Structure 1
């Protein structure tokens, strides 16, 4: 059974953690909780502002990934440059991905695409 002393120590530890997370300098429980409440409200406002900014930002990339018989079809369209985005997409799909490997694969695909375009133009 947990003693009263242990419960009090655990509560003090949690209050100290709450003080450090919320950057509170309060000493009593009520003030610490009030500071934490204000901190949570500030976080909610920041989140709302970020959500609104994202909703208004038409330059966000659109990404679709489809599984094909022999690999994947990844479509990425964006009006802005997002360095590292392809690596990030692949990491989300497959876990760890080496950026150099992605560069090599993209260059190979570009060469293949160029060759097939050249063949079509010659025909």
Structure 2
């Protein structure tokens, strides 16, 4: 272990690497798709010069990637919010269930104690 650094378990490290590779491939796929769409758009405008078509393609790809990034960040933020809400709700439900079980066990113990006391009184 290197001093001062936290070492991750092998499974988490591999999973993180796989997630990073997947994100990289997904980003490239989005960029390639945006480039194809921009090229199709430019093909529909034959009056553009090559420089204008390249400029339009670059602008379209940048704008499209910005929109995609914003959408993904918004989605990730909302997913985090929902996770917190669900975890809080789950914790509340667990507490309520524990209280009900504890009350049920107490009721059973009271009944058993009462029945035991009644049995002792009747046995005398």
TM-score, normalised on structure 1?
0.29
Bigger radius of gyration, 1 or 2?
2
For CA contacts below 8 A with separation 6 or more, give which structure has more relative contact order. Answer: 2
With structure 2 as the length reference, what TM-score do the two structures score? 0.29
More strand by share: 1
